[in-house]
Structure 1
Amino acid sequence: MTTASTIPISTESEAPWQLPYRGTVGMVCLIIAEAAIFAIFFVSYIFYIGKSLSGPTPREVLELPIFGTICLLSSSITVHWAVAALRKDNIRSCALGLASTVLLGGIFMVSTAEEWYHLIYEKGLTIRTNLFGTTYYSLVGLHATHVIVGLILLSIALFTALTGRIKEEHSEKLEVVSLYWHFVDAIWVGVFLVVYVIGR
């Protein structure tokens, strides 16, 4: 007498493992390298806090850049929205999300430029004034450079969206750009805490 087996046998084959998108891998590697560079600048800034032999000091000249910070961090939401829209082949919403991201990033850069103008021409703080000036402009300037690069990439993506050259199949490439932008925003959180909170 034979008995039927009661062990369930799955007839569905597992989905084959696929290599991650090479653009994503490349961006992750770049972000790791850039994060290491920023870590060096953070440590340097913290090490030299309070060691300037002359003024002005951070407490005397720095103000919390609340508005610029809100704009930059909000841009992470809009770039995520743009990528999500492109995955659904909603080009119009994608373009709107990219335009919003570029606008918010541009506002942040304008606020940074206004802060630097105030520090240089009204407070007399330059990169050569003291250790504070040297470390401040090095760290904040490094971040501003990354913001500019991100804005260039996002502006190119926005142009392709407005001209109808971007399609759903380009969503992975746009996600790579968004990863860079999220990194820039995350680094600003560190800059804000180190320079404007701990450093004051």
Structure 2
Amino acid sequence: MNQASGMQAADHYFVPEPSKYPIIGAVALLLFGSGAALWLNGMPAGRWVFFLGIAILVFMMFGWFGQVVRESEGGKYGRRVDKSFRWSMGWFIFSEVMFFAAFFGALFYARVLSVPWLSSGDNASMLWQGYAGAWPTAGPYASDPFTPMEAWGIPAINTLILLTSGVTLTWAHYGLLNGRRGRLKLGLAVTILLGIIFLSLQAYEYAHAYAELNLRLDSGIYGSTFYLLTGFHGMHVTVGTIMLTVMLFRAFAGHFRPDHHFGFEAAAWYWHFVDVVWLMLFVVVYWL
């Protein structure tokens, strides 16, 4: 009888009560986007609207995710809910793949198609005399020379750091599966530390690029694609580091079991996705 009741509890599908957090999140994103647009257009109120949107978004995430954690630890989720979470995280990561694919596609179009076209045929002889079209380039109208970022410096070090972080996170995961919670906590802590080191080195790289290489966001097509791709990746590393930090706090609070830890798995999926994107980015943006 107890076994049958347990199976029934595991198979039930939990239906949450109506939540206020989706509308709060929508308001936060509206303020975030409109504030950024106002700020970029030089309106003084833009930055305050932008930071208000961030504050409301953080409030929403703490409240909504905290509610999910409490429901999970309260035993309200069964196998069906777990499956729906896995599908949802899978589709979310797929949307992130498409997000980066758009920027990689823009880089491919500029580098392989448009830049050579501008320096060929009638364009070279009539419109852009003297423009060689060699990559990296700021484009035919470039006025300030810049030095492209070398691959075998900070970018190579950051590649090693992210690869190592993937190993430490997997080590932590195996510790959880084997009931070794000390390994789980240590692996998570080391992974978070590596993420912070990565972000610190990237911030130093940006300062070096602006101050010494004259490589700026407005340095033509090379500058814009470089900062958009590396900047958005850095933002994703920041999000991943925050997610892993939450997982570490939950591990210290006694959460997660070998057979029930999708919150940890979701954060790990996201971190490994960030690792793969960086490998592609290192090869395409820095190396080639």
Percent identical: 35
Whether the aligned pair in 1 keeps the contact of 2:151 and 2:282 (CA below 8 Å) is no
Moved over 6 A (4+): none
Structure 2, unaligned runs of 5 or more? 1-78, 112-134
Match of 2:174 among 67, 84, 90: 84
- Is 1:103 the equivalent of 2:193? yes
Once residues 168 and 230 of structure 2 are traced to their aligned partners in structure 1, the CA distance between those partners, rounded to angstroms, is 23
Match of 2:110 among 42, 48, 57: 48
- Is 1:28 the equivalent of 2:52? no
- Is 1:139 the equivalent of 2:235? no
Whether the aligned pair in 2 keeps the contact of 1:63 and 1:196 (CA below 8 Å) is yes
Per-residue Cα deviation, 1:132-175 (whole angstroms, up to 9, x for no partner): 11111001111111000000000111122234344445422211
Report the counterpart of residue 62 of structure 1 in structure 2.
150
Whether the aligned pair in 1 keeps the contact of 2:151 and 2:287 (CA below 8 Å) is no
Once residues 144 and 80 of structure 1 are traced to their aligned partners in structure 2, the CA distance between those partners, rounded to angstroms, is 21
TM-score, L = length of structure 1:
0.82
How far off is 1:57 after superposition?
4.8
Whether the aligned pair in 2 keeps the contact of 1:143 and 1:188 (CA below 8 Å) is yes
Match of 1:189 among 258, 264, 279: 279
The structure whose RCO (Cα within 8 Å, separation 6+) is larger is: 1
Question: Tell me, what secondary structure is at the counterpart of 2:218?
Answer: coil
Once residues 21 and 77 of structure 1 are traced to their aligned partners in structure 2, the CA distance between those partners, rounded to angstroms, is 26
Which residue type is aligned with residue 28 of structure 1?
G
How far off is 1:81 after superposition?
1.4
Structure 1, unaligned runs of 5 or more? 1-17
Whether the aligned pair in 2 keeps the contact of 1:46 and 1:194 (CA below 8 Å) is no
RMSD: 2.0
* 1:124–1:31 Cα change, 3 Å: same
Which residue type is aligned with residue 62 of structure 1?
E
Report the counterpart of residue 39 of structure 1 in structure 2.
101
How far off is 1:48 after superposition?
2.5
TM-score, L = length of structure 2:
0.58
Once residues 131 and 57 of structure 1 are traced to their aligned partners in structure 2, the CA distance between those partners, rounded to angstroms, is 14
